[in-house]
Amino acid sequence: MRGGVVPFLHPVAGARQHAAVGGADHGAHRHLAARRGGAGFLQRDLDGAHGARACNRTRPAASRPMTRILALLLLLPSLALAQVPPETARQGRQAGEAILARAANGEADQLPRFANDAALLRALFNSAALLAARPQPEAGTPELAEWSNTAAEVLRFYLAASDPRTRAALARRGRTLPDYQDEITQGTLFLLHATASAGQGAAHHLARLPPAERASRQPGLARMGAGAAQMLQGVLAILREPLLRAPNARALATGLATDLPLLRDGLPAEARAALARELASLRLADAQAAAALGQARGAL
C-alpha cells in the first residue's frame, strides 16, 4: 500500500514542547539526535525554513487535528511508572538509543522496520512488559522513565519521516519512502500503555497520602489527565484513517479497551465528553477492531 503512512503524521505534527508536570525534572527530555551533532532528516526535511507548523498552516482550520500523541512526554517523569524489570527497561532504552543514533544522521527511508530490525523494535516498544507489570504499585524505576522518553523521541522520527515534504525530498533523489504504519502503530500503543500505567501508579501513591497532601498534588494530576486525553484523541485520529490496516486497527482499539478503565477517572470532564462523542461516531470495518472499540465505549 504505497504511501499509506503519510496521513499518520497529522495527529501528532507539531508536538514539540515539553511542558513540566508538578515541577518534575525534564532533563531526560533531550533531543538525542541533536546531542550527537545533528538531527539528520528530521531537521533537514521537516523543520526547514518554516518549521513543522508550516505544513499545518496549509490545511483548512477545521481540518487541522488538535491532538498531540507526543503529549505523553508530559506524563513520563511523573509520580510513578510501571514497575517492569529494570533489565527489560534498560534493554528497551538501549534499543531506542541505537535507533536514534542511526536516525540522527541517516535518511528517512533508512529507519528500522519490523521487516528487518524486529528484535530492536520489539525491545523498544515492549508493550507486553508494561501490561505484565499491572496492577502496578507506586514504586517506579528511573530506567523506565528513560526508556519511555527514548521511545517517544524515536516515534517522533518515524512521524517526521512520514511528512509529505520528506517523501518529496526523497522522490527528487529517486528514492521511495517506506510504509512505517506498523512502527508508528506499535510506538503509539506503547506510549498509550505507558500513560495508563503512570496514572495507575499515581493513583496508588495518592491513596496513601493524607488529605492535605493529596490536595497539593491536584494541579499535577490535572495536567496528567489533560495529557492522557490528548493521547487518547491521537489514537482515535489514527483509527479514523482509511488506510489503517486491520491488524493495526485491532491493536489500537484493543489498547483503548484495555487502558480507558485506568485513564477514565483522571480525564477532565470536557475531554471525557469529547472522547465519548468521538467513540460514538467512529466506525471500524474490521469486526474484531469494532468489537474492541465497543468495549472501549463501554469503559468510558
Model pLDDT, residue 181 = 94
**Measured distance CA(101)–CA(212) in Å, rounded:** 46
Per residue in 223-258, pLDDT (tens digit) is 888 989 999 999 999 999 999 999 999 999 999 999
Model pLDDT, residue 10 = 38
Band of pLDDT at residue 136, cut at 50, 70 and 90: low
Band of pLDDT at residue 284, cut at 50, 70 and 90: very high
Name which of 122-126, 199-203, 210-214 the model is least confident about.
199-203
pLDDT of 282 > 80? The answer is yes
Model pLDDT, residue 172 = 92
Q: Where are the alpha helices (DSSP H) in 36-115?
A: 41, 53-57, 86-104
Q: CA of 29: how far to CAs of 19, 116, 117, 147, in Å? A: 10, 28, 25, 11
Model pLDDT, residue 196 = 87
Cβ neighbours of residue 59 under 8 Å, at least 6 residues apart? none
39 HSE (CA, 13 A, CB side): 18
Model pLDDT, residue 165 = 87
Per residue in 266-279, pLDDT (tens digit) is 899 999 999 999 99
Per residue in 163-173, pLDDT (tens digit) is 888 888 889 99
pLDDT of 296 > 60? The answer is yes
Cβ neighbours of residue 188 under 8 Å, at least 6 residues apart? 69, 155, 234, 235, 238, 252
Q: Mean pLDDT, the chain, as a whole number?
A: 74
Domain spans, the chain:
12-21+31-299
- The gap from C-alpha 44 to its chain's centroid, in whole angstroms, comes to 23
Model pLDDT, residue 195 = 84
Of residues 144 and 195, more confidently modeled: 195
What is the share, in percent, of the chain residues with pLDDT greater than 90? Answer: 43
Model pLDDT, residue 45 = 39
**pTM for the complete prediction?**
0.75
Query: What DSSP string runs through 201-238?
Result: HHHHHHHTS-HHHHHHHHHHHHHHHHHHHHHHHHHHHH
